[in-house]
A = this chain, B = another copy of it.
Amino acid sequence: MNRLNTMESRLTSSTRAQNVESFLQVRKRSEEICRPLETEDYVIQSMDDVSPPKWHLGHVSWFFETFLLSRFAAGYKIYHEVYPFLFNSYYEAIGARWSRPKRGLLSRPTVREVYAYRKHVDQHMASLIDTRMAAESREFSFLLDLGLHHEQQHQELLITDIKHILSINPLKPAYAEPPQPEAGGVPLAKFLQMEGGLCEIGFEGFGFSFDNERPKHRVWLDDYTICNRLVTNREYLEFMEDGGYTQPLLWLSDGWYAVTDRGWNSPMYWEQQEGKWFVFTLAGLQPLNPDEPVSHVSYYEADAFARWSQKRLATEAEWEHAATVLNVSPAHGNFVESENFHPVPCRDSNQDPLLQMFGDVWEWTCSSYLPYPGFQPEPGAVGEYNGKFMSDQMILRGGSCATPRSHIRKTYRNFFQCDKRWQFSGIRLASEA
């Protein structure tokens, strides 16, 4: 999907046609993700963090309608007067909105009506992209890119939300086939010695980036080590069997509160039956594979595991520095395109120094989500996209098995509250040198 990585001018009609094609491809992907669903699955909000799939499908369309069609398509009329109220997520500048934790109380619009809305938006967007104005406007071009990356973020959320929706159902339905097991063993954990110094992190250059990745700026790094691969279920089980969930001294205070208050005794989606561990996956309930990277852990669990290991998590600067220095790219990770919908065991055919940096699971860092020095939110209403969430969250890096490959970068900053577990989130260890 080259479209997402370039900002070149698109003056020729063939470029414009290609842009339309790229747009429709991303849009179609969202619908493909929903193909295995029953109508009823589209409607449910299984917990406050989850949105009903039909809401996701409507919301991303509203994004294009609000920030592009309404503004750039001459004479465009809002598709339905109530939809902006229903599908606005959190844009205060845009207006009032339906309460987030009540998204699962809406039977209407129906799934069919939401698809009709999508079709309408797609047609108007396709026409608009194919105009000279669009091809020549830097702002349009940016907002189109933003809209497409936005849709990709919701594609990831669709997968994690569908997983949760199915997981709470006693019938334990499956969404897909389980991934094919690959032969081979997990490489030994090695802590790579990294030389610090005055480094630079953050995005600069051509191609799309979010405002929160900018500006590129200097940071001082002491020497550090970073582990060559993710923590596995086998290693996490050792932590559990060593009383990880019963020793308060391993935990942050708020983490221990979460453990006791919510009765956590394993990662999310794990369940024990007759002494054996199983894990709910998008392929239904499966026996736990000890070689897979541990997933669906909170920051608190990642932090406690690291403390138990006498290590720590990496800072986001260390993570990005290591990826840069060791020249790791997102080209070959386990992303959504592999259709595993699940992290897979680490295999090291090429004897790369640093494995699993991209795809599989988002990696909790020990950095808070704060503005980079000199941070400027995007101008206009889309300035609410990232900046206003810069408190009480931690940074995750690298993307997951639910992330579109073209969506991720080494400078990409994901962020969630410390107690969130429903994303594919895992652990990579680091330490002082």
Chain A interface residues (CB < 8 Å from chain B): 38-46, 54, 82, 85-86, 90, 92-93, 98, 104-111, 165-166, 168-171, 173, 198, 217-220, 222, 248-249, 251-256, 299-300, 303, 366-368, 370-371, 373-374, 383-384, 388-392, 394, 418, 432
Determine which of B39, B45, B254, B432 lies in contact with A391 in the assembled complex, contact meaning CB atoms within 8 Å.
B254
Determine which of B82, B92, B107 lies in contact with A248 in the assembled complex, contact meaning CB atoms within 8 Å.
B92
- B373 & A82 in contact (Cβ 8 Å cutoff): no
In the complex, the 9 A-B pairs of residues with the closest C-beta atoms, listed nearest first: A368-B368, A92-B248, A40-B107, A220-B220, A253-B388, A41-B107, A39-B39, A43-B43, A44-B107
CA of A106 to CA of B109 in the docked complex: distance in angstroms? 19
- B252 & A373 in contact (Cβ 8 Å cutoff): no
- Other A-B pairs, 17, CB within 8 Å; known A38-B110, A40-B54, A391-B394: A41-B108, A44-B104, A82-B170, A86-B170, A93-B249, A104-B105, A105-B168, A107-B166, A249-B383, A249-B384, A252-B389, A252-B390, A254-B389, A254-B392, A299-B391, A300-B391, A391-B418
- B418 & A392 in contact (Cβ 8 Å cutoff): yes
Please name the residue on chain B nearest to A318 by beta carbon.
Answer: B373
- A222 & B105 in contact (Cβ 8 Å cutoff): no
Number of copies: 4
Interfacial chain B residues near A41, Cβ < 8 Å? 107-108
- B171 & A198 in contact (Cβ 8 Å cutoff): no
Interfacial chain B residues near A299, Cβ < 8 Å? 391
CA of A108 to CA of B198 in the docked complex: distance in angstroms? 55
CA of A45 to CA of B73 in the docked complex: distance in angstroms? 39
CA of A383 to CA of B394 in the docked complex: distance in angstroms? 24
Interface centre among A108, A256, A367 (most CB of B within 10 A): A108
CA of A256 to CA of B389 in the docked complex: distance in angstroms? 11
Interfacial chain B residues near A168, Cβ < 8 Å? 105
Please name the residue on chain B nearest to A90 by beta carbon.
Answer: B253
Please name the residue on chain B nearest to A165 by beta carbon.
Answer: B107
Interfacial chain B residues near A222, Cβ < 8 Å? 217-218, 373-374
Please name the residue on chain B nearest to A253 by beta carbon.
Answer: B388
CA of A171 to CA of B170 in the docked complex: distance in angstroms? 32
Interfacial chain B residues near A248, Cβ < 8 Å? 92-93
Some 9 contacts from A to B, beta carbons below 8 A apart, are A40-B43, A82-B170, A85-B170, A92-B248, A92-B249, A105-B169, A252-B388, A368-B368, A392-B392
User: Do A108 and B391 form a contact, CB below 8 Å, given A43-B40, A222-B218, A374-B222?
Assistant: no
- A104 & B107 in contact (Cβ 8 Å cutoff): no
